Each structure stands twice: as C-alpha cells, then as structure tokens.
Chain A
Amino acid sequence: MKVSYITSLAFIYTHFFSDMAITADHIKDKLIKELAAVHVDVEDTSQNRCAASFKVLVVSPQFEGKQLLQRHRMVNTCLADELKEIHAFEQKTLTPEQWEKQKAQ
C-alpha cells in the first residue's frame, strides 16, 4: 500500500510539473522534427515579461511557395499545445534561400 502511494505521488509530480516548463530546446526540437527545419533559433524572452515568452526564427524548405499567413499557420499548428501556455510569441519564417540572402547582407 505504501508503494502504490509513492507511485501515485510520483505520477502526480511528473504529470503536472514536467509538462509545465516549456523550454527553448523543446520548441526547437519540435520545429526541426515537424517542419523539417534546417535552421532554428529560439530566444526565450520570458525575462522581459512575467510569463513564458519566445521569439523564433524557422528556416525550412517547406515554406517554399507559401504565403506569410500560411507559413505562420504551419508554425502555429506545430506548436499548438505550447501556444496555449505561451504568453507572448514572435516568429520569423524563411526559406533556405531567403535565409542565405539575409545572412549575406
């Protein structure tokens, strides 16, 4: 009985507390995995505000031929769960070609 008590405590702990911290790495991994991103910058801007805030740069060939709104929707869909918790979110979406051009400037 003591074992099951500890097990349920452990379950409650991991279930509630591990989901709460959205990290920059977590966001980066998701974007790479789901959008085949070739480059991702995630800046945690939470220190400027009182809650989880991020600024991301996503470079992906999947953005080719897509309008701005569509690209942003792709990112929003990828991070749908996270965005429910995130307070402030900024994003920039580029194709690999646009990324190279920007770097050259």
Chain B
Amino acid sequence: MHSSLLVPADSNQRLKKLINAAPCMLFMKGSAQDPRCGFSRQIVALLKTHGIQFSSFDILSDEEVRQGLKAYSNWPTYPQLYANGELVGGLDIVKELAESGELENTCPKAVTLEHRLKTVINKSSVMLFMKGNKEGARCGFSRQTLELLNDTGNAWWCSKKGRARVTDEIRATIIDHVINHGL
C-alpha cells in the first residue's frame, strides 16, 4: 500500500498543487536566498550554476508539508527537487545529473534576456521594433517607418501579436547590440 494513501485526501490535493506550482520546484530547508542546511545550500548553488529556473518552498515554515510530502512521495529526506510534477530526487541525484550533463534536460533552464531578444529579433527576416502595432502606430517615427515598409511591399512581422512593449531594458540592450554587433 502506497504511503500516500495514509495522507488525508485534501492534504494530498494541497501537496499535488504545491509540487506543480512551478515547472521546477525545490522543497528545501530555508529559502533559496537563505538556505538553512548544508544540503539545501549545495542544491541551490548547483541549480544556479547550471542556469536552472526554479521556485522553492521552505519546509521549515510548514510542518504539515514537511511531513506530508515525505509520505506523499515516499522520500524520507530534504531537499527534494521536482520537475514537471515528478520527483527528480535529492542532492545526491542532482549532483550526478549535473556531472553527467543531464540536469539541463531534466529541468527547464532560465531564459536570459539575451536569449529572448535573439529569438524575437530572428522571428522574421525583417523585424520592426516600434511603438504601437501594425494597425496603429503610437508615434510619428513609427508611423513613417510603417508606411515606408508597407510601400516597399516587404513582408514583415511585428513581435508579440502586435503589442510589443519595448521596455527601457530591452531598448538599451537593442541599442547596445546594434552598436557592438551590427543589425
């Protein structure tokens, strides 16, 4: 008989929800910023080194989860790492996965801003970063550029379904990218 049957039904529900709260969930002692045990500290460091995107839960803050999760997953120790709702294991396993290079395949990587920009810039052979969208430009220069492109009959695409919001960070990075790498 699986020990999860010994945990009350609604408690099971709560644990299931918690485990699936993020694609990669770490149940640890303390927080990712302030780990309260050597193993938890090591696992956080490993995940960060490999650029793994994860959320964490401090089992020291909730005794019900602390004991309940051990029974639910039939795993006696912390930290516990879950990927897509499934138990990956503890520090030992994560260490081995990191060594064999399998960790990145098991857990989703954090998407850096540079990666996002690269993806968006290359979305189409011609990409316009403007204020507003194809249907309605929100500034004079954007409107003029729109008209120019439309006149030349270029097939082009505006990112994020026409609602690209260029934040200051992206703006600065694009300018830097253009200056250093060219378009």
> Closest A-chain residue to B75, C-beta based?
A76
Please state if B88 and A69 are interface contacts (CB–CB under 8 Å).
yes
Stretch at the interface among A2-10, A31-39, A84-92: A84-92
**Minimal beta-carbon separation of B19 from chain A (angstroms):** 15
Chain B contact residue count (CB 8 A cutoff): 15
Q: How many A-B residue pairs have CB under 8 A?
A: 30
Please state if A69 and B87 are interface contacts (CB–CB under 8 Å).
yes
Contacts of B147 in A (CB 8 A): none
Name the residue in A68, A73, A83 with the highest tally of chain B Cβ atoms < 10 Å from its Cβ.
A68
**Dominant SS among interface residues on chain A:** helix
Q: Determine whether B108 belongs to the interface, using a CB cutoff of 8 Å to chain A.
A: no
Q: Determine whether B74 belongs to the interface, using a CB cutoff of 8 Å to chain A.
A: yes
Please state if A68 and B93 are interface contacts (CB–CB under 8 Å).
yes
Contacts of A80 in B (CB 8 A): 76
**Minimal beta-carbon separation of B47 from chain A (angstroms):** 17
Q: State whether A83 and B90 are in contact (beta carbons under 8 Å apart), knowing that A68-B96, A88-B39 are contacts in the complex.
A: no
Contacts of B92 in A (CB 8 A): 72, 90-92
Question: Interface 1/0s, chain A 91-102, versus B by CB < 8 A?
Answer: 110000000000
Pull 18 A–B residue pairs with CB atoms less than 8 Å apart, ordered by A: A68-B89, A68-B93, A68-B96, A68-B97, A69-B87, A69-B88, A69-B93, A72-B89, A72-B93, A73-B74, A73-B75, A76-B74, A76-B76, A80-B76, A84-B76, A88-B38, A90-B91, A91-B92
Residues in chain B within 8 A of chain A (CB atoms):
38-39, 74-77, 87-93, 96-97
Residues in chain A within 8 A of chain B (CB atoms):
68-69, 72-73, 76, 80, 83-84, 88-92
